């Protein structure tokens, strides 16, 4: 009996030791508000990592979006963040809203392109972006990539930031404010077909303000991460013609200090389960290893580079950390 008891005790000690060694790594993913694409996309990524990366438990967290996500990743409060490419560059270099402080971030993957969507109601009579002077608008929530991009575009076009009244609302709040007439113009920088604009268009006739060729030229000259694109007609009810606008790629950033093998496993699981992510949102079709090299605006993490090289994809020197 004593021998059996001793064996049982040893088994319990070994089991406890095994449980202690099987440490769970918790990963927070900084996303955005619930009215955009970042949050559902991040939720899908969290599911993939929790299921396919041993020892990892990932959670998507609601945040103020791009600018805040850079700061959270830098501080280690989330370690992973979904951000717009222009914000990633500013955070990496310590420019613009980051006020000279370089943040310790690297690129892990490219997500999908954002399109700047400047929305008003048809009966507002506003057809040109320069008509926002003196108007009530929402340029996106503080700390978001939308607000960052909107202000960059306004500056490029010579629209003073104090020439309009800015409520700085989230996507859902912006749609509601347009609906009840609190604001006249709302700005989104998001993948096309976002829920908050789709919902607004079901109850109100909307107009999406396009940019003239001259305006586009000024905007592109102000920021190399921007590109001229079109929002396809038919995405939103009542907007049947293509709208000329500005695009920027979204980046999944990570904390520079993350373990190389961990990031390798995260990148591998992300890229190799893209089909599942596309069921969450079709924009995930752009989340490919090839696009990580083609569109990343800042250097890649060594873990991602390890995966890309394993797949036979050449990584240019400019993307080496």
For residue 282, which phi and psi values (nearest 5 degrees)? -60, -20
Residue 35 has a pLDDT of: 83
- What is the rounded distance in angstroms from the CA atom of residue 29 to the CA atom of residue 19? 26
Q: Do 70 and 122 sit in the same domain of this protein? A: no
What's the pLDDT score for residue 5? 43
122 and 244 belong to one structural domain: yes
Q: CA triplet 175, 119, 121: central angle to 5 degrees?
A: 80
Least Cα distance to 35 among 208, 181, 150, 169 occurs for 169
| pLDDT, mean of each 10-residue run, the chain (321 residues) | 43 42 87 91 98 98 96 95 97 95 98 97 97 98 95 98 97 97 97 93 98 98 95 96 97 97 98 96 94 97 98 97 94
Residue 12 counted as domain residue? no
Cα gap 253→74, rounded to integer Å:
10
The number of domains in the chain is 2
Residues 202 and 128 in one domain: yes
Q: Are residues 230 and 162 in the same domain?
A: yes
Distance between CA atoms of 81 and 103, rounded to whole angstroms? Answer: 13
Query: What confidence score (pLDDT) does residue 36 get?
Result: 86
| 120 token code pair | 């008003």
Rounded to whole angstroms, how far apart are CA atoms 120 and 209?
Answer: 7
Is the Cβ–Cβ distance between 268 and 291 less than 8 Å? no
Does residue 10 sit within a domain?
no
User: How many Cβ atoms are within 10 Å of 178's Cβ, its own excluded?
Assistant: 25
Q: What angle do CA 296, 261, 107 make, to 5 degrees?
A: 15
Residue 17 lies in a domain: no
Residues 6+ apart with CB under 8 A from 172: 33, 34, 35, 196
Same-domain check for residues 206 and 277? no
pLDDT at 19: 41
Residue 217 CA to residue 211 CA, distance in Å, equals: 10
CA distances from 268 to 34, 171, 301, 304 (A): 27, 32, 13, 8
Domain shared by 108 and 126, yes or no: no
Query: In this predicted structure, what is the pLDDT of residue 22?
Result: 62
Number of H helices, E strands in the chain: 12, 10
Q: Is residue 18 part of a domain?
A: no
The helix/strand/coil state of 296 is coil
Give the domain range for residue 52.
Answer: 24-112+251-319
Domain boundary among 248, 271, 291: 248
- Among the candidates 248, 280, 309, a domain finishes at 248
Give the domain CATH number at 64. Answer: 3.40.190.10
| Model pLDDT, residue 218 | 98
- In a shared domain, residues 239 and 265: no
List the one residue out of 292, 256, 265, 277 whose CA is nearest residue 79.
Answer: 256
Q: Residue 205 contacts by C-beta under 8 Å, 6 or more apart in sequence?
A: 121, 122, 123, 238
Which of the listed residues 214, 248, 282 is the one where a domain comes to its end? 248
| 2 inside domain | no
Q: Does 62 fall in a domain? A: yes
For the chain, what's the residue count?
A: 321
Domain assignment of residue 314, yes or no: yes
The residue written with tokens 């599911």 in the block is 47
Say whether both 258 and 239 belong to one domain. no
* Helical axes 171-180 vs 195-203, angle rounded to 10°: 10
- pTM score above 0.95: no
Residue at 176 is within a domain: yes
C-alpha to C-alpha distance for 175 and 185, rounded to whole angstroms: 10
């Amino acid at each position: 009996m004593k021998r059996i008891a001793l064996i049982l005790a040893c088994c319990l000690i070994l089991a406890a030791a095994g449980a202690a060694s099987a440490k769970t790594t918790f990963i927070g993913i900084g996303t955005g508000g619930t009215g955009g694409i970042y949050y559902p996309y991040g939720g899908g990524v969290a599911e993939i990592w929790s299921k396919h990366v041993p020892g990892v438990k990932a959670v998507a967290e609601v945040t103020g979006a791009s600018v805040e996500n850079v700061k959270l990743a830098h501080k280690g409060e989330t370690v992973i963040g979904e951000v717009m490419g222009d914000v990633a560059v500013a955070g990496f270099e310590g420019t613009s809203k980051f006020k000279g402080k370089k943040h310790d971030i690297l690129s892990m993957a490219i997500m999908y392109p954002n399109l700047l969507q400047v929305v008003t109601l048809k009966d507002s009579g506003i057809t040109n972006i320069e008509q926002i002077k003196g108007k009530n608008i929402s340029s996106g929530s503080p700390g978001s990539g939308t607000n960052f991009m909107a202000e960059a575009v306004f500056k490029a076009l010579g629209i003073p930031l104090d020439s309009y009244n800015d409520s700085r609302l989230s996507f859902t709040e912006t749609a509601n404010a347009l609906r009840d007439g609190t604001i006249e113009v709302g700005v989104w920088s998001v993948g096309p077909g976002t829920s908050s604009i789709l919902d607004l268009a079901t109850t109100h006739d909307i107009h999406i303000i396009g940019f003239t060729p001259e305006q586009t030229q000024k905007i592109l000259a102000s920021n190399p991460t921007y590109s001229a694109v079109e929002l396809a007609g038919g995405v939103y009810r009542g907007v049947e013609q293509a709208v000329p606008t500005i695009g920027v790629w979204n980046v999944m950033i990570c904390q520079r200090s993350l373990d190389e093998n961990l990031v390798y496993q995260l990148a591998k699981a992300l890229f190799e389960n893209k089909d599942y992510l596309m069921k969450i949102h079709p924009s995930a079709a752009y989340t490919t290893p090839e696009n990580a090299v083609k569109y990343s605006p800042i250097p890649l993490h060594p873990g991602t580079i390890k995966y890309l090289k394993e797949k036979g994809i050449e990584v240019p020197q400019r993307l080496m950390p």
